[in-house]
Structures are given as C-alpha cells and as structure tokens.
Amino acid sequence: MTCDEAKLNINAMIDNEIPEEAVQPTLSHMESCYRCRQDYIELLRLQKRMKGLKIPEPPKEWYENFHRNIFRRASGWIGRLFFIGSYILLLSFAFFRFFTSDEPSVFLKLIIGGIIFGFLVLLGVTFADRFQESKSDKYKGVMK
C-alpha cells in the first residue's frame, strides 16, 4: 500500500467510512510508516477538538431578514421583467404599425429600419461583451 492510498483510508477511518477489508492493510501500513501514523494521530486530535466546538445558531431575526431579502430580490426581478417585457411589446406594436402603414414613404421606412437594426446589433454586441467580461472578472463577488 502506498502512502497516498493509506491517507485516503486514514481519512475514511477517522470518519468511520472505511470498508472492513481495508482496515487491516491500513493499520499495517501505519505500523511501518511514521508519516502516515503522525497524520492519523493529528487527525484524531483534530476530531477530538472539533467535537468540543459548539456552532452558534443564528438569531431568529436573521432567518426573517433572509426570507424578506429573497422576497425583495425576487419581486424586483419580476417587476423588471414585466416592465421591460411591456416596453418591448409596446415598441414592437408601434414598429409593426409603422412598417405596415401606407402613409410613410419606403425611404423613411428603410432609414428607421436601419436605425433599429443598428441599435439591436450594438445592443447584442454590448451584452455579449459584458457577458464574456463577467466570466473573467477577477473582482466578482468583492463587496464594495
């Protein structure tokens, strides 16, 4: 048995998750390997210290604020979604009426269509660049 295999088994022994057939080879390895035996002793000491620790329970207000905060965020996103969706529908209706109407000239329709197409292309490129930049942002998650 190698030291790497023994270390995995030692961790499993500490957590009482080792198969019975692996206990004896691991113990035999620890008898002959000082480093693995020291690792086992250190892990036992650490486990003993950890058992004595008491993890404090968060106050009841923390749970209440947590749920309110989630509700606030969700309602904010729902509000934005409805606002932006309604705005897009309204603009789509206006453009549809403009382009299907017989009153404006074809030249004016082409100019406005070009402006709209250019805006949509720029918007798409901006979102794609921002998305790509957010993947490699080294300050992501840093609090202000």
Per-residue pLDDT of 17-55, as tens digits, reads: 888 888 899 999 999 999 999 999 999 898 888 887 888
Q: Note down the domain range covering 112.
A: 72-135
Binned at pLDDT 50, 70 and 90, residue 122 comes out as very high
35 is written with which tokens? 């480093």
Structural domains counted in the chain: 2
| Residue 62 forms part of a structural domain | no
| Residue 7 forms part of a structural domain | yes
Per-residue burial over 74-106, b if 16 or more Cβ lie within 10 Å, else e, is eeeeeeeeeeeeeeeeeeeeeeeeeeeeeeeee
One domain for residues 129 and 77? yes
How many other CB atoms are there within 10 angstroms of residue 37's CB atom?
16
pLDDT digits (tens, 9 = 90+) for 45-91: 988 888 878 888 888 887 778 777 888 888 888 999 999 999 999 98
One domain for residues 110 and 77? yes
| Residue 16 forms part of a structural domain | yes
One domain for residues 129 and 78? yes
Contact 99, 110 (CB under 8 A): no
| Residue 142 forms part of a structural domain | no
